Amino acid sequence: MLQGTPFVPLTRFNHTLVMGGLLAGVVLWVPVFLVFRGLAGINRTRLRERIAGSRFAKAIGRIPLVSAVGKAVQAISSALPSAG
């Protein structure tokens, strides 16, 4: 359909590249999902308190806009029913 237009052949669009990218994405989706799910769990259990207690995080928390957003998020989180 578009291959007959003068511009599209100049892009050197190749269907095998598209299929290869799709296949790689489908094959790698589950392992990448599981790895990042594990990393998120590690972040929640081990790293969150260390990051929150760092001097950098405390300095960022002193910025008025960041402080206001943090208080709003805590208020919304406490108003929601807890899952579990």
Domain ranges of the chain: 2-79
Q: What is the pLDDT of residue 32?
A: 96
Torsion angle of the four alpha carbons 58, 59, 60, 61, in this order, in degrees rounded to the nearest 10: 50
d(CA 38, CA 28): 16
Q: What is the pLDDT of residue 48?
A: 84
Do the beta carbons of residue 49 and residue 57 sit within 8 Å? no
Nearest Cα to 13, choosing from 25, 23, 5? Answer: 5
The whole-model pTM stands at: 0.47
Beta-carbon contacts of residue 67 (< 8 Å; ≥ 6 apart): 61
Q: Model confidence over 8-63: pLDDT tens digits? A: 666 666 677 777 888 899 999 999 999 999 999 888 888 888 888 899 999 999 99
